[in-house]
Structure 1
Amino acid sequence: MAITITDSFWQRYTDLIRNEMIPYQWDVLHDNLDIFIDKERDDPGIPSEKSHAIDNLKIAAGQKEGSHYGWLFQDSDVYKWLESAANSYALKQDDKLLDMMDEVVALIEDAQEDDGYLSTYYQIEAPELRFRRLFESHELYCAGHLIEAAVAHYKATGSERLIKVSEKFVECIKNHFGPEEGKINGADGHQEIEWALIKLYEVTGKEEYVDLSKWFLEIRGQDPDFYSKQLLENKEKGIDDRSIPHINLKYHQAHQPIHEQEEAVGHAVRLVYMAAAMAEVAAIHKDDKMFQSAKRLWDNIIKKRFYITGGIGSTVHGEAFTFDYDLPNDSMYCETCASIGLLFFARAMLKNEVDVEYAEVMERTLYNTIISGMALDGKHFFYTNPLEVNPEASQKDPGKSHVKPTRPSWFGCACCPPNLARTLTSLNKYVTSVDEEAIYVHLLMDFEGEIESNNQTVSLTQTVDLSDRGKVELSVKGVTEPVKIYIRLPEWGDMFYFENNSSVKDGYAEFIINEDKTLSIEFEMPVLMWQAHPLVRQNKGKVALQRGPYVYCLVEEDNGPHLHLLTLTEKPVAEEMSDSVLGDFFALKGKAKKIKSDDSWKNVLYQQAEKEPFEEVSLTFIPYHLWANRSVGEMMVWIDKGEE
């Protein structure tokens, strides 16, 4: 299956990544830029002087002298950069980019130990603790990102250099981990290698990698004391004299075996990376038990712990899920990486069963939270993606230091920027899928490509218009045998029109064709007003607006300050707009009443309740992903809803 995205909206992003993000991140990783590196929250322990990620590899390789700097997982920034560079190279070959990749590949090769081990912190600072502090070490997490970079690099260039590095590292891991006597019977505190091993299997065909992935998944939580036992053994052996910290097992999803976990808890990124790997293993092994375990986690997230923008993670404490229906708008976490992981999870679930909900979640998180994570200049980024912002609170409330009113240039923990780049340059993997019976089109964007179906190769060209009305046309050529094609009918569309001999099945328009044909679907694109479940306390009496795949928000620049005083009084309508910074887009224009703070409130904090004076105002809503590109100010997704 070879799909090329030709959509102008998404080409804007891939061009931005190629021309701006990749060179910019290259300079950041090499410490070549004089930029302010922000802490993702107020925490004096966050290293934010520099990246040093390339230098860490050079020191491990013996090319430089010095100490390791940064997080234990600093290597992964380089690996994700390399993956995004490879994905971009696959889209458009570039000799300069190839030279940059070759430099990094050679450095990685040089840094790898003879036995295959590669993790710069432990190579430089604590070789005696290799694989001995798994609750925090991120060694296998970094190995996973190295593997994913290797696979992308191989697919883009045909070079097996990093595949060989990865397989050597995996052999090292197999020599140290497993159920055998004397081996480590546990998993890394941060899931990632479980997902990456599937990618390595896909290009090598070696089923042992799937088996290893499944082992790492199923060993998690089998012994809740595993991490503490490791630390105690280190003390007894005299290789680590640090005190043994309390380890929050739910944070690591290690409180129970995965097949017993009923709800999404702990660190949101770790959870969805784990669940995505579970769904991948389930699809390969046709393992219904594994699939049902993944499905339970999916249902808990999407039905009870999922933001309207596609974000997940309700609290800064542990960057974690909390409890059902706890979805605060102004103190949430909604990490960019978590939404990327949810995208992975949704796509992996589609490999097990075609359910329109998976495609809807892919689209919602992709068009909203994920691309909100980067500015339109490609050089500023969000770690968290709030649904409500008051810049003064971000500055002065310690509990909201993570809620940034503008995108920083870089982070002390820089996982999100290169994760964005590698994801948006590989969107072709999410548009379609195929099984023994049919071709499915999940995302409504322009693309072209060839797909094998029913012992034939068919060519597909899709064009999509989402302006005044929605229209999807899919040209299918090369048909020699009957083929079924399913095109998703978006939940945000209405009054769908397509050929009478077609039907609707599970949220998709079903077409059965015997010859070359152009399939067409037309539909209305109303402005939707969503309300939250009554148990979501924060959104009682409020609505969120959507048109097409875009959730909308209010920003201070267009609507003035004190957005919380607004009550929507009529359903907004779509209006095409053009902005020198934001470009061309559809805004939503509506009416509201705004509470007036009159003289009776001077030097008064509380007074007896009376009918509050208000003024009629006009509102402009913009797509959520565009906010914070023009100025610093308030932002709000959910707005009070009055009578129309």
Structure 2
Amino acid sequence: MFNEKKKLGKAFKEPVYTFRGFEALPEDMEHLEDRFYGFVFQDSDFSKWIEAVAYSLVNHPDEKLEEIADGAIDIVCAAQLENGYLDTYYIINGMDKSFSNLKDHHELYCFGHLAEGAVAYYQATGKDKLLKAAMRFADYIDSVFGPEKEKSKGYPGHEIAEMALVRLYEATGEERYLELGRFFINERGRQPYYWDCETEGKKQEGERYQYHQAHRPVREQDEAVGHAVRAMYLYSGMADVARLTGDGTLLDSCKRLWNSTVWEKMYITGGVGGTSIGEAFSFPFDLPNDLAYAETCASIGLIFFARRMLEMEADSQYADVMEQALYNTVLSGMALDGKSFFYVNPLEVLPEACHLDERKQHVKPVRQKWFGCACCPPNLARLVSSIPSYAYTETEDSLYMHLHMAGIITKEIDGRTAVFQVQSQFPWSGKVTVTYAGEGPVRMKLAVRIPGWCRNWNVQGSERYCCSEEKGYYVMEGSWQPGDQLDLDFIMEPRFYQADDRVRENIGKIAALKGPVVYCAEEADNGKELHLIRLNPKADIKESKAQIGGKYFPVLNIDGYRKVCSPDAGNLYHEYREDQEKETEVKLIPYYAWANRGENEMMVWMRQGIPK
């Protein structure tokens, strides 16, 4: 998260700030000062961790892990004030300044993650201690903010409270939580700006409210702008409120912002946020490969947004993007051994530039063990451990398969339990087998996504059902009998893609994909100076396997050419002459597996040319 240092007066002891580094703490921990350490949003690290723990416990019960989590919850709940307030920065430094800097100081953001984690832990374990703490904090916030005349008209600087309040409402049935979330969304961007009056009534001239998505009321916004993670969290909350309230104008805004994000500002890897300046969206079609930010958290937020749009409208475009972000940028955010992480996910890397060019110092050529601002690792953990809720959704009479993942899915319908067993070879092959394993027959719809990358597909075993195609889904309706089996094959062939001509950085370049997986060239396989290589888009793509990080991955082998440097290449400029090239075979690996063999060059978009 972007760090903005803000002084709040002499009564405050400022936190120890670092920017994605480790803060220097005294060697003797017994002599630590009695003050707040870290970022103002440090509380959220616990909350994201507890949410990931909750999802893990559902699938992998672990008494020791649950005991550790319970102990951490006890410590956090002990810090809560009697009135319900729970943010350690202000509890330590002085409650007289609480909610005095909503724009920068993340109290409502920390609450949002607390609520998300509390609901998840309650649903996983049945233990409600943290849930009750989150509800008490929500009640306190509700007593401070709202449309009533006597209440404050503020709203979060860093969004997530909006979607968290909806989740808290759905878990508890307390209508006021939904209304508070809707209030924060409705209030955002209204003038006069609440933030102008936060600090002793001083107007903050020239404030760039686009960074916080507060430049206009949300229903008037039509372009994804500002900090990319904040934007995705806001849009997710907007979609939640639109779904639960039937607000058509809010839904329309969500669709406009979706289109802006996906059709103008998204990398082929599902990354969003093209500039490190403010970790933000750039202007339409500005998608630099080597300067990309594409924060792991932003793609996770895009998946949040996509799933919420799917809950309102089963349209395969949302699931296509969810799959694209998951198998590329999100998985790239963590090493194959799970022990190091990327904050930034570029599409082209020259290690020397990362070390020597200040413009590219946000790009790391190898994953880092940890970060002072550690939002991405626990965010990634909570997404991956909760992936079943993204792979499948349901309506009253239908089960939707969005991501073709193996598992056992149950659905209650007409007093019976429908059970489907799914076997899948995704993402390396498009073969999927679905078997109905319920004890008795049920009548319902099963809707399976037809991936946007798939040209040819077939299904065997659907003849007994009434079948149709609806917005990119193959819908089978009928009576499902025990033992019924579907064999689906979404033909998965490697192909070349090119970008819209308005993406200036990629003119004359192509990228290789197989199914949802983006591929890249790495120095470890192809030698240095990848920019001298061009691919033959007419050549057959051969497939093989290679070992990376102790695992075997499908590899694409493509005929190409490498420029041969001329004898007088020492001249910085010279008169034009036709390039001399030699044939070479270019080896491409899955993008998310790059940087697992040490520091080396990487490139997704490569020059292309047809041989003469």
TM-score normalised by the chain length of structure 1:
0.87
Which of 328, 338, 342 is 1:378 aligned to? 338
Cα deviations by residue, 1:93-137 (Å, 9 ceiling, x for unpaired): 112101110111011111111111111112222432100011101
Which of 617, 624, 630 is 2:591 aligned to? 624
Contact 2:316 2:452 in 1 (8 A): no
Establish whether residue 512 from structure 1 lines up as the match of residue 477 from structure 2: yes
Which of 47, 59, 64 is 1:91 aligned to? 59
Which residue does 2:365 correspond to in 1?
405
Q: State how far apart, in whole Å, the 2-side matches of 1:506 and 1:47 are.
A: 42
> Kindly tell me: are residues 524 and 285 of structure 1, through their superposed partners in 2, closer, same or farther at Cα, counting changes over 3 Å?
same
Which residue does 2:458 correspond to in 1?
497
Which of 448, 464, 467 is 1:487 aligned to? 448
Q: State how far apart, in whole Å, the 2-side matches of 1:186 and 1:381 are.
A: 35
SS in 2 for 1:616: strand
SS in 2 for 1:365: helix
Q: State how far apart, in whole Å, the 2-side matches of 1:454 and 1:639 are.
A: 54
SS in 2 for 1:601: coil
Contact 1:572 1:588 in 2 (8 A): no
Which residue does 1:634 correspond to in 2?
601
Displacement of 1:598: 2.5
Displacement of 1:484: 1.5
What is the percentage of aligned positions where both structures have the same residue? 42
Amino acid at match of 2:39: W
Q: State how far apart, in whole Å, the 2-side matches of 1:626 and 1:130 are.
A: 44
Amino acid at match of 2:471: D
Which residue does 1:303 correspond to in 2?
263
Contact 2:165 2:178 in 1 (8 A): yes
Which residue does 1:117 correspond to in 2?
85
> Kindly tell me: are residues 247 and 582 of structure 1, through their superposed partners in 2, closer, same or farther at Cα, counting changes over 3 Å?
farther
Report 1:309-458 matches (<5 A): 309-453=269-413, 456-458=416-418
Q: State how far apart, in whole Å, the 2-side matches of 1:139 and 1:76 are.
A: 10
SS in 2 for 1:81: helix
Contact 2:405 2:426 in 1 (8 A): no
Amino acid at match of 2:142: K
Q: State how far apart, in whole Å, the 2-side matches of 1:574 and 1:419 are.
A: 36
Q: State how far apart, in whole Å, the 2-side matches of 1:390 and 1:351 are.
A: 41
Displacement of 1:372: 0.5
Cα deviations by residue, 1:496-531 (Å, 9 ceiling, x for unpaired): 122474443321222223132111212321112111
Displacement of 1:155: 1.2
Contact 1:187 1:220 in 2 (8 A): yes
Q: State how far apart, in whole Å, the 2-side matches of 1:224 and 1:597 are.
A: 61
Q: State how far apart, in whole Å, the 2-side matches of 1:420 and 1:45 are.
A: 22
Cα deviations by residue, 1:420-457 (Å, 9 ceiling, x for unpaired): 11111100101111113422111111111211245532
Contact 2:102 2:156 in 1 (8 A): yes
Q: State how far apart, in whole Å, the 1-side matches of 2:107 and 2:123 are.
A: 25
Q: State how far apart, in whole Å, the 2-side matches of 1:245 and 1:148 are.
A: 35
Contact 2:196 2:204 in 1 (8 A): yes
> Kindly tell me: are residues 158 and 65 of structure 1, through their superposed partners in 2, closer, same or farther at Cα, counting changes over 3 Å?
farther
Contact 2:534 2:607 in 1 (8 A): yes
Contact 1:566 1:595 in 2 (8 A): yes
Q: State how far apart, in whole Å, the 2-side matches of 1:630 and 1:47 are.
A: 23
Amino acid at match of 1:331: L
Which residue does 1:209 correspond to in 2?
177
Q: State how far apart, in whole Å, the 2-side matches of 1:366 and 1:420 are.
A: 10
Which residue does 1:78 correspond to in 2?
46
Amino acid at match of 2:169: Y
Contact 2:315 2:473 in 1 (8 A): no
Displacement of 1:138: 0.3
Amino acid at match of 1:403: V
Displacement of 1:203: 1.3
Which of 574, 577, 583 is 1:610 aligned to? 577
Moved more, 544-553 or 474-483: 474-483
Amino acid at match of 1:512: E
TM-score normalised by the chain length of structure 2:
0.92
Moved more, 496-505 or 335-344: 496-505
Contact 2:270 2:328 in 1 (8 A): yes
Q: Output the aligned Cα RMSD.
A: 2.2
Displacement of 1:204: 0.7
Cα deviations by residue, 1:552-604 (Å, 9 ceiling, x for unpaired): 001110111111111101445252314151512211001111112232112x1
Report 1:193-342 matches (<5 A): 193-233=161-201, 247-342=207-302
Moved more, 576-585 or 557-566: 576-585
Report 1:550-569 matches (<5 A): 550-569=517-536
Which residue does 2:490 correspond to in 1?
523
Q: State how far apart, in whole Å, the 2-side matches of 1:288 and 1:276 are.
A: 15
Contact 2:447 2:475 in 1 (8 A): yes
Aligned length: 585
Contact 1:568 1:642 in 2 (8 A): yes
Establish whether residue 191 from structure 1 lines up as the match of residue 164 from structure 2: no
Report 1:32-47 matches (<5 A): 46=19
Higher relative contact order (CA 8 A, sep 6+): 1
Q: State how far apart, in whole Å, the 2-side matches of 1:613 and 1:77 are.
A: 54
SS in 1 for 2:513: strand
Q: State how far apart, in whole Å, the 2-side matches of 1:563 and 1:454 are.
A: 59
Q: State how far apart, in whole Å, the 2-side matches of 1:521 and 1:363 are.
A: 18
Q: State how far apart, in whole Å, the 2-side matches of 1:466 and 1:268 are.
A: 29
Amino acid at match of 1:506: K
Contact 1:574 1:586 in 2 (8 A): no
Q: State how far apart, in whole Å, the 1-side matches of 2:498 and 2:146 are.
A: 49
Q: State how far apart, in whole Å, the 2-side matches of 1:379 and 1:51 are.
A: 22
Contact 1:224 1:254 in 2 (8 A): no
Q: State how far apart, in whole Å, the 2-side matches of 1:551 and 1:137 are.
A: 38
Cα deviations by residue, 1:273-314 (Å, 9 ceiling, x for unpaired): 000111111111122111111111001111111110000001
Amino acid at match of 1:597: C
Q: State how far apart, in whole Å, the 1-side matches of 2:221 and 2:193 are.
A: 17
> Kindly tell me: are residues 461 and 636 of structure 1, through their superposed partners in 2, closer, same or farther at Cα, counting changes over 3 Å?
same
Structure 1: runs of 5+ lacking an equivalent: 1-43, 236-242
Displacement of 1:640: 1.0
Contact 1:594 1:614 in 2 (8 A): yes
Amino acid at match of 2:562: K
Structure 2: runs of 5+ lacking an equivalent: 1-16
Displacement of 1:65: 5.8
Q: State how far apart, in whole Å, the 2-side matches of 1:390 and 1:148 are.
A: 38
Displacement of 1:468: 7.8
Q: State how far apart, in whole Å, the 2-side matches of 1:562 and 1:271 are.
A: 36
Displacement of 1:470: 2.4
> Kindly tell me: are residues 601 and 227 of structure 1, through their superposed partners in 2, closer, same or farther at Cα, counting changes over 3 Å?
same
Which of 553, 556, 561 is 1:585 aligned to? 553
Displacement of 1:643: 1.1
Which of 543, 547, 564 is 2:510 aligned to? 543
Q: State how far apart, in whole Å, the 1-side matches of 2:454 and 2:549 are.
A: 28
Cα deviations by residue, 1:303-360 (Å, 9 ceiling, x for unpaired): 1111100000010011111111111111011000000000000000011111000110
Displacement of 1:380: 0.7
